[in-house]
Structure 1
């Protein structure tokens, strides 16, 4: 919560030369990737890479296409480093999500309703600068401009049907007459029966910058490093969406009927502005022990501007000062002890703020509603452990506990499986341990081992809606302190090994394990959890010469059948009364293989 990911991109200084690879295989996948980089002097470098991938998908009716470009220009001078990065991405993804368990038992590749299409376009320009003013004082900064355009087209089952009170016309699930944009009642004809087509478009423009100074100087004869910085981020979103009535064909494709639901139209502009001021000080108490104290003040404003009225208008302001403290103790040349405490906060997003009404659930991501405000989430984390090295590798073992106050979760509600709302559910906790090892066996074998035990639980008694849960009482489930959060496995394990056989052959294997998890809508843990899984992936490379090698990837070698997601829905509304199991799940990918050629110049 409130963390950050630091990504070190490639540049021409460290990645000179040209390479390309092409691969093809299962599910009609074809991919090509190429990169080139170098430096014209000790001060200037360039790097460019691009990738294209398309496949038919391993589930029915699920083709996807991805195009990515990245470029870097770098200037490295005696005291100054400047990097200029450009990222361009275009994707056309068809996901076709959760399906009834009884349908997947007949055909694991089947989809329930379709399509579930998302088109993305992204452009990002980023500049980073680092400058050493002296041997003890340095400055660093970055600035970015990002634009994204996301369009969705989702074919779903429908909660509209012929009215009981006024036959011949369409009503919603509450029996309220449905009108088109001209305020005419929508007639009940076959073209409008059984499906809805939900369209959205989200244009987002973001700008931001960060500045920080670092001062390294002895204090009372001890090493001391003080960091002071600030950041600013502004994100503007222009959102629009609507719903059209249609019918489902024999393949459960939602066929548009031409009737738009008048009150489904949404047009909302939002602006989120965030200012932060932070500091950190690390002081060497002894030659082996260091203490770090830090703080960060966040001031965030979210403005909602309804373009079709005033119902969605709103101004939300959040601010908080977060503190952190940590200590490290070097116990030997190969082992260090660490312990720390930190706070962070997350403000509700515009989607969460406008989809927070239990009595008016929305379909994500296409519905914004006039809803009650949400509180910001505050997380407090304690962690402790040991890390170190051995002759052939590194290791780390630690325990952690993060407690979230006013945590925000998506709660399943409404008649359809993708309906629900966001809500503050009080206190939740995530605690456990992590063990990470890696190393070498001789000159030809590398290996790694990662294990996580995560206990994610509710810390307050709650009553939550879950209308399609078969054990719900009056459409609600009871949550007790200690019940597990949905969709989070308690154990994750990954082990890998790579071995060189002679000078030309390399073989690698990876084993993955995930334990059981509870479905969304089963927050009370009343039903059996979704089963655990074990996967095995392998790769083999053969070096043809100094410039070419072939490779073979095989994922899920044992063709394990496993599930990655689960929730509840009404399968019988579309498939008929024989499908009375309300569980919907997302299956994992079956065995797949790809053969490729890598060229290096």
Structure 2
């Protein structure tokens, strides 16, 4: 029945579009992108960058995970594990694909505040899509201007309040007992000074999950307050809090994935694997215009994050004196400051923009490990509970990164961009758990790297840009990867070095068919790729594997076909391989699909009935470094229809959506190099969601 309703609505919407008078060519207002720090239209930016507006983030989508909308962006894999105890699996051009939890190799920013720690470990749990104004994805060499682990950048911006005060409420319900309740208040105050705008949002979500033992509850609150002062300076305050509890069903073997995708690993039930996260954060963004086109900006933030995770490590394995136990108890205090100066002047009579600044980020964590059982190891009294202490350390981490960027309009057609960043990352660990057979693992390490980038753009016509970009990036080991040495000696793994990459890209952008058409060719050569070195005595260790090469092509187009009929398409071909000592191509980098494709068509008027269809496909993914296990490729479709009403002081948005329309059986993601062969995290079968959002303006 829901499919029939959706098909009817699509037919009606598309029929209206066909019956309309032939549409004239639509002149799109330029969309400014911010991630290069020199705001300009996407057409004029000499880099691969995509922007998703807030309305498109939620257009017929539940708005639970960022992966829902990032599927349309070329070059990025954002895969839903259907396991909220872990984060989304996100990689950009293959960077971050090795991560079995959290985000690595890709830097995340929310309102200019890093959601990535100085060591390159990031998370997405505090992003509130309900109040987002936009999401930008920066790919390729230009992302090197953000320092460590910047194989790609994801920037999320909260929308400022506008217009008369509005209060709203939302309800989302769907398959597997999905429930989310939300409240929002926003608006502008019409004040010349003081509080000028606000956007407050809070939500509560519960979900039983597609798989057994995958229940989730999440409470999220976000606030953005804007202040204007008499000297034309402005201050934005951003605060958010997240409280999440999630069961962890772990991955499945190939046999279990094929025969019982809703199932769960037996140890997950035995040890009640689960995770809790509580995080609170406050950020300030101060901007002051100065005479002569100069601007000063300061971004400061501080936060606390508490994580407790129960793992399924058998109690017998934990008998090794070096084992850290089966319960992770991690508390983090973090803070940072980014001071930036922007000057808009001229050089030889041509416009010149200079951006100079320094970023400092600091994190202090108290990491403990406990046994996941009580009683003697031979006959434990209870499993899945916090037992004896097995690890206790204090870690500090900081980075100090001065940077300078310049953009010069050489003439009417040529623009030259250049940037340089000097990144210093410092690790220090103090071991407080020293026992016979478990020596002192205290130590420190420091990594430093110059990160240059240069880009040249040529305006072939007012609607066409050509560009070439080159840059150098690097990625340090995270604290988890640095903790232990493969030779089982005490101390940090000083032999583990950062990986460094040379990135090259050429591209073309063209306004065509009422939208923007982009194409980019890229190549990335990486030295000292960080990979797993195995596990001994319960300690996972890492090593530098050697060289890798990634090269590929990205294509995308989006725009209005006719009237309110909107289309979007993207395609990525990426060959990512280890390099043999002879310099020839070796095995594929696990976790990276060779091909990704996306297409959508939507009838999206400002008011009235709306409908759309989406299709996305992905080729086979290797699950381990030996390329002996893989997840097959797939293609899935989704349909939605809804109604939007704007009447006087009221607004109403409602939709119904069906995902995985043809009930395909496929792996939503893989756990790369999982030691027990449980590589596969099944995607949900056919599932539905219904959303209702109503608001009133005073």
1:94 aligns with 2:253: no
**Partner of 2:255: helix, strand, or coil?**
helix
- Structure 2 residue corresponding to 1:536, chosen from 609, 617, 637: 637
Q: CA 1:68–1:358 in 2, change beyond 3 Å: closer, same or farther?
A: farther
Residues 538 and 555 of structure 1 are in contact (CA less than 8 Å); yes or no, is this contact kept in structure 2? Answer: yes
- Structure 2 residue corresponding to 1:454, chosen from 562, 566, 574: 574
**Structure 1 residues 344-366: Cα deviation after superposition (integer angstroms, max 9, x where no partner):** 22222221111442669xxxxxx
**Structure 1 residues 252-273: Cα deviation after superposition (integer angstroms, max 9, x where no partner):** xx95198957xx7001111111
- Structure 2 residue corresponding to 1:71, chosen from 223, 235, 242: 223
User: Aligned partners of 1:502, 1:128: CA distance in 2, in Å?
Assistant: 33
1:206 aligns with 2:358: no
Instruction: Please state how far the C-alpha of 1:335 moved relative to its aligned partner.
Output: 0.6
- Structure 1 residue corresponding to 2:660, chosen from 514, 531, 556: 556
User: Aligned partners of 1:516, 1:397: CA distance in 2, in Å?
Assistant: 23
State the match for 1:256 in structure 2: 383
User: Aligned partners of 1:480, 1:267: CA distance in 2, in Å?
Assistant: 44
Q: CA 1:481–1:323 in 2, change beyond 3 Å: closer, same or farther?
A: same
Q: Which structure's CA Rg is the greater one?
A: 1
**Partner of 1:557: helix, strand, or coil?**
coil
Question: RCO higher in 1 or 2 (8 Å CA, sep ≥ 6)?
Answer: 2
- Structure 1 residue corresponding to 2:400, chosen from 254, 259, 275: 275
Q: CA 1:460–1:245 in 2, change beyond 3 Å: closer, same or farther?
A: farther
Aligned residue runs from structure 1 range 395-544, under 5 A: 395-413=517-535, 420-461=540-581, 481-500=585-604, 504-520=608-624, 523-525=625-627, 527=628, 529-543=630-644
User: Aligned partners of 1:76, 1:411: CA distance in 2, in Å?
Assistant: 54
State the match for 1:337 in structure 2: 466
User: Aligned partners of 2:610, 2:445: CA distance in 1, in Å?
Assistant: 56
Q: CA 1:14–1:432 in 2, change beyond 3 Å: closer, same or farther?
A: farther
User: Aligned partners of 1:332, 1:584: CA distance in 2, in Å?
Assistant: 49
Q: CA 1:258–1:315 in 2, change beyond 3 Å: closer, same or farther?
A: closer
**Structure 1 residues 280-318: Cα deviation after superposition (integer angstroms, max 9, x where no partner):** 111222211011121111122110111123621011011
**Structure 1 residues 107-132: Cα deviation after superposition (integer angstroms, max 9, x where no partner):** 22110121331111111111001111
User: Aligned partners of 1:351, 1:179: CA distance in 2, in Å?
Assistant: 15
Q: CA 1:548–1:322 in 2, change beyond 3 Å: closer, same or farther?
A: closer
Aligned residue runs from structure 1 range 80-229, under 5 A: 80-112=233-265, 113-114=267-268, 115-157=272-314, 160=317, 198-229=326-357
**Partner of 1:267: helix, strand, or coil?**
strand
Instruction: Please state how far the C-alpha of 1:567 moved relative to its aligned partner.
Output: 5.8
State the match for 2:507 in structure 1: 385
Q: CA 1:549–1:73 in 2, change beyond 3 Å: closer, same or farther?
A: closer
**Partner of 2:258: helix, strand, or coil?**
helix
User: Aligned partners of 1:53, 1:15: CA distance in 2, in Å?
Assistant: 28
**Partner of 2:495: helix, strand, or coil?**
coil
User: Aligned partners of 1:552, 1:561: CA distance in 2, in Å?
Assistant: 22
Q: CA 1:10–1:544 in 2, change beyond 3 Å: closer, same or farther?
A: closer
State the match for 2:119 in structure 1: none
Q: Which one is further off, 109-118 or 81-90?
A: 109-118
1:240 aligns with 2:368: yes
State the match for 1:291 in structure 2: 416
User: Aligned partners of 1:480, 1:244: CA distance in 2, in Å?
Assistant: 46
**Partner of 2:312: helix, strand, or coil?**
strand
- Structure 1 residue corresponding to 2:455, chosen from 322, 326, 345: 326
- Structure 2 residue corresponding to 1:57, chosen from 209, 216, 230: 209
Instruction: Please state how far the C-alpha of 1:16 moved relative to its aligned partner.
Output: 5.3
Of Structure 1 and Structure 2, which has the larger fraction of its residues in strand?
1
Q: CA 1:496–1:230 in 2, change beyond 3 Å: closer, same or farther?
A: same
**Partner of 2:250: helix, strand, or coil?**
coil
User: Aligned partners of 1:498, 1:155: CA distance in 2, in Å?
Assistant: 45
Residues 442 and 491 of structure 2 are in contact (CA less than 8 Å); yes or no, is this contact kept in structure 1? Answer: no
**Structure 1 residues 157-214: Cα deviation after superposition (integer angstroms, max 9, x where no partner):** 4554xxxxxxxxxx95xxx7x899xxxxxxxxxxxxxxx9811111111111011111
Instruction: Please state how far the C-alpha of 1:228 moved relative to its aligned partner.
Output: 1.1
Residues 480 and 524 of structure 1 are in contact (CA less than 8 Å); yes or no, is this contact kept in structure 2? Answer: no
Residues 197 and 245 of structure 1 are in contact (CA less than 8 Å); yes or no, is this contact kept in structure 2? Answer: no
Q: CA 1:501–1:308 in 2, change beyond 3 Å: closer, same or farther?
A: closer
Q: CA 1:303–1:9 in 2, change beyond 3 Å: closer, same or farther?
A: same
Residues 549 and 577 of structure 2 are in contact (CA less than 8 Å); yes or no, is this contact kept in structure 1? Answer: yes
Residues 566 and 604 of structure 2 are in contact (CA less than 8 Å); yes or no, is this contact kept in structure 1? Answer: no
- Structure 2 residue corresponding to 1:38, chosen from 174, 187, 205: 187
Q: CA 1:15–1:337 in 2, change beyond 3 Å: closer, same or farther?
A: farther
TM-score, normalized by length of structure 1?
A: 0.81
Residues 393 and 430 of structure 2 are in contact (CA less than 8 Å); yes or no, is this contact kept in structure 1? Answer: yes
User: Aligned partners of 1:322, 1:486: CA distance in 2, in Å?
Assistant: 27
How many residue pairs get aligned? The number is: 527
1:300 aligns with 2:428: no
Q: CA 1:402–1:179 in 2, change beyond 3 Å: closer, same or farther?
A: closer
Residues 606 and 644 of structure 2 are in contact (CA less than 8 Å); yes or no, is this contact kept in structure 1? Answer: no
Instruction: Please state how far the C-alpha of 1:238 moved relative to its aligned partner.
Output: 0.6
- Unaligned stretches of 5+ residues in structure 2: 1-104, 106-148, 376-380
Q: CA 1:369–1:149 in 2, change beyond 3 Å: closer, same or farther?
A: farther
Residues 358 and 421 of structure 1 are in contact (CA less than 8 Å); yes or no, is this contact kept in structure 2? Answer: no
User: Aligned partners of 1:259, 1:545: CA distance in 2, in Å?
Assistant: 53
User: Aligned partners of 1:320, 1:568: CA distance in 2, in Å?
Assistant: 29
TM-score, normalized by length of structure 2?
A: 0.70
